[in-house]
Structure 1
Amino acid sequence: MPAGAALEQSFQELFPGEVKLTVSSAAERIVICTLGQQADDFTAAITLVEQPVPWQQLEGPCETARYWPEAVATLKDHQAHLMVTLIDEGTKSLDKSIALTQLVAATVAASESATGVFWGPGRLVHPRDGFLGQAEQVQPENLPLFLWIDFRVEKVEADGTETVRLYTTGLEALGQTEIEVDQFNGTPQELLEYAYNIAHYLLIGSKAVEDSHTIGLTDELQAVVTRGPSFLDPELEVLQLRLEVPTE
């Protein structure tokens, strides 16, 4: 459990701008703090839970974390965890996620025994240093979407031809609709980059995206948006993206 002074110091070192973190109370198993430009924009709690996160919650995220091959070996035998929670109500989802990311990063930096982060809304696990590196770069115009959203790319076969598809988990927690691409003939990396840019556009955009909305990706490619049922769960509405060449 990080000491209150260590938590404040870590936050200031990681995020030396206008946002401040102030510990209001600290006990053996819980720390209460406030953070924000006004010092109390958010109230948060860091709680020591002296038991592991249930493995059934971590197993899937660990096994699909291709960016962290050691995830299973690192996390499977952990004995306790810190639960970091914003207990503020009524703030925009995006602002909450930025604040929570900064607080989690400061908590990790102040906790020598912290080995990784489980980001519940996106069902993602991250290595300690990887999370810190991305969190330090967070800005309203440069969101750390790979920390928050699982962009799952899968190879599929359609009409005898191998293509790729993509779906997200985590956009809903940020106040947006999950996105899906059911068929793409390019490479997995290209699809991942396009989906990342579209998700960023949705989150920082000021207008709602409706049916037949088009999002320009390159001079030779655009995404056409349709609201419809998910190919994973027909009861779930998603933004279906069709990637195509723009017409003259």
Structure 2
Amino acid sequence: MTTQRQAAMQSMIEWLADERELGKEPSKIEIAGEFDLHGMHYYIFKYKKSLLGKWLLGVCGGYEHDLDTEHCGHVFSEMQPYDPATAQQEAIVMVEMIREFWMKQAAALEEGQQEANSEESQNDKRGLFNGFVLLDSHECDMEQIKRNLLQDWNISCTEAEETDRDNAKETDGTLVFEADGCMAALSFVDAPIPDGEAEHNAQANYLWKEAVEKTQTHVAQIIVAVFTRSGSPLDSGKLYAKLASSCLKLPNAVGLYSSGTVFHPGLFVDFAELMKTDNDMFPLLNLVHFGLVRTENGISGYTFGLKTFGKDEIEVLDTQASPSELRDFLIDISGYVIEQNVTLKDGETIGFSAEHKLPIVRSEGVYVEGSSLKIKF
């Protein structure tokens, strides 16, 4: 007879093996903990993509009774590093977001507002943005964040109705709410990013000389996550930039670890606030990192963040262009791909004029995981 733990393990493996997730079974997977939430039981998993890879966090559950082997559909992973000190809090955030999403979907179906393709919507991670606001003290002023959201973006997450479909729910440092057609979640974790990961990736921010030094001062974090209910990734991307900028206005916020680097809090806020004067402006520089690497044969560049829009990352290898020219090129191409919803393909060419044709090759990434599009520039 299959036990609940065995059933949860198998469900987690099957979810990860889906072609839209890992595309294969994890090389290693273990149950790392259990918790109860909203009267249901959940299992925390740690797993590895490869034998030598890092442990990553997953959650499976929604079991109503001790002997149940059928969960309620709360199976998910953002493929973020597993840290035993914060695993349960991060798992709760994922469950709360999934739970709120399906409650809203159910309400919409009852009112005849939309048709749902639930399984496909849950598994498709396009439009899921997440990052970590780094704090240099052991406190998080959620009320100030709410005030910032209301003042800066006219986003209210305090007018909750006394029903199961509240506009906002806040428990134990976790806030989940809906805005602009998206689900959003904040969760305070009184612990730093583990294994020096944020400090290591801060080195990639060549626009901020003190990035590593400032990142080293962080002792706590706010997990920020946003995903679209039914709109495009552009919708959730805009809300993520607004939410993160409101968090970064806290006096103890020292940076945002996201998109493979650590963003300067002031610059991130400045870029986000451009949306105040131009509602159609898309905050590309807040959502995609444009990396530059000096090589023996010139300079190379890469994007980190296009996958969130369902696009391949882009790399330019060993060009003789200047760093500023290469960065501007990557920004222009990425903006075109995202805002015009263009899918570049292997063997095609791209250019900004009839005479300007640059070949595209899709192959294993050099500076990014998985496949990338190599553009000769």
Is 1:240 paired with 2:377?
no
Answer yes or no: is the 8 Å Cα contact 1:198–1:215 preserved in 2.
no
The separation in 2 between residues aligned to 1:196 and 1:53, in whole angstroms, is 28
Structure 1 runs not aligned, ≥5 long: 244-248
Answer yes or no: is the 8 Å Cα contact 2:157–2:177 preserved in 1.
yes
The separation in 1 between residues aligned to 2:363 and 2:171, in whole angstroms, is 49
The separation in 1 between residues aligned to 2:252 and 2:242, in whole angstroms, is 18
- Report what 1:246 is aligned to: none
- Report what 1:79 is aligned to: 219
Is 1:116 paired with 2:255?
yes
- Post-superposition CA distance 1:201-230 (Å, at most 9, x none): 110124432334333236864433232333
Cα gap change, 1:236 to 1:75, in 2 (>3 Å): closer
The separation in 2 between residues aligned to 1:153 and 1:98, in whole angstroms, is 25
Is 1:127 paired with 2:261?
no
Identity %: 21
The separation in 2 between residues aligned to 1:29 and 1:54, in whole angstroms, is 20
Answer yes or no: is the 8 Å Cα contact 1:21–1:34 preserved in 2.
no
**Highest CA radius of gyration, 1 or 2?**
2
Q: Bigger CA drift: 131-140 or 171-180?
A: 131-140
Is 1:194 paired with 2:329?
yes
TM-score by length of 1: 0.79
- Report what 1:29 is aligned to: 173
TM-score by length of 2: 0.54
The separation in 2 between residues aligned to 1:202 and 1:140, in whole angstroms, is 20
SS of 2:299's partner is: strand
- Post-superposition CA distance 1:56-110 (Å, at most 9, x none): 321222222221111222121322111112265554333222211111112222x
Amino acid across the alignment from 1:126: F
- Report what 1:167 is aligned to: 302
Answer yes or no: is the 8 Å Cα contact 1:48–1:81 preserved in 2.
yes
Is 1:229 paired with 2:373?
no
- Report what 2:320 is aligned to: 185
SS of 1:77's partner is: coil
- Report what 2:282 is aligned to: 143
The separation in 2 between residues aligned to 1:173 and 1:35, in whole angstroms, is 19
Cα gap change, 1:27 to 1:211, in 2 (>3 Å): closer
The number of residues matched between the two structures is 227
Structure 2 runs not aligned, ≥5 long: 1-139, 159-167
The separation in 1 between residues aligned to 2:219 and 2:358, in whole angstroms, is 45
User: 1:53-68 counterparts in 2 under 5 A?
Assistant: 53-68=193-208
Is 1:45 paired with 2:189?
no
- Report what 2:150 is aligned to: 12
Amino acid across the alignment from 2:176: I
SS of 1:66's partner is: coil
CA RMSD, aligned part only?
A: 2.6
Amino acid across the alignment from 1:202: V
- Post-superposition CA distance 1:119-147 (Å, at most 9, x none): 1xx11211221111111124685433332
